[in-house]
Amino acid sequence: MHNRQSVLFFLRLEIRALLLEVVRIDPLLALGQQAKALQIEIDAKIEDLEQFRGRLVRINSEWALSAGGVRPSGSDSFSKAMAEYLDLETEIGKDLDRLKRLRSHIREKIDQVEEPSLHALLILRHLHGYDWQQVADKMGYSYSHVKGSLYKKALQELRLIPGNTD
């Protein structure tokens, strides 16, 4: 678990450095990447949570089979695992709240774009996470039109909206 935390820490640092560069070019892309990175962290923590749950079930089963459910000596392994489980569950809840706020912030920015096709493009790309080909297929346009001129127009419109500098 500590190794995973170290990897996640360094992954966060790398992502933040990249985001600083990206935010200059495409502010919605940067926000979307933050949301994606946070979702990856949440998914990893949920996997850890499942492992803890399995560990707790094993420990509890061992107690039930031994001496009529009497806890063996040194049984603080269950308490320790339960504490870690609850801490991780709390962390996941906080991360989910952060993700919800981030996605809401992205939605607020997108909702300022009034032209329907540009609004739809931004929703598909930055909230639903579609790749460019999926966006093009969904909207009935060519890949090059969506990724090129239509997206550039959407970004220009976002930049023209007062307060959209991040």
Of 66 and 114, the one with more pLDDT: 114
Band the pLDDT of 150: cuts 50, 70, 90: very high
Kindly tell me the burial class for residue 162, based on how many C-beta atoms sit within 10 Å of its own C-beta (0-12, 13-18, 19 or more).
exposed
Q: Does residue 44 register a pLDDT over 60?
A: yes
Share of the chain above pLDDT 90, in %: 36
Place of tokens 């678990």: 1
Name which CATH class applies to 112-166.
mainly alpha
Which residue type sits at 154? A
H/E element, 24: helix 2-25
Q: In this structure, is the dihedral angle defined by the CA atoms of residues 141, 146, 148 and 151, taken in order, positive or negative?
A: positive
Highest mean pLDDT (candidates 15-19, 42-46, 77-81): 42-46
Mean of pLDDT over the chain: 81
pLDDT of the residue at 8: 76
Whole-angstrom Cα distance, residue 159 to residue 155?
A: 6
Instruction: Using pLDDT thresholds of 50, 70 and 90, give the confidence band for residue 159.
Output: confident
Write down the pLDDT at residue 129: 84
Q: Which residue has the higher pLDDT, 6 or 96?
A: 96
The one-letter amino acid at 136? A
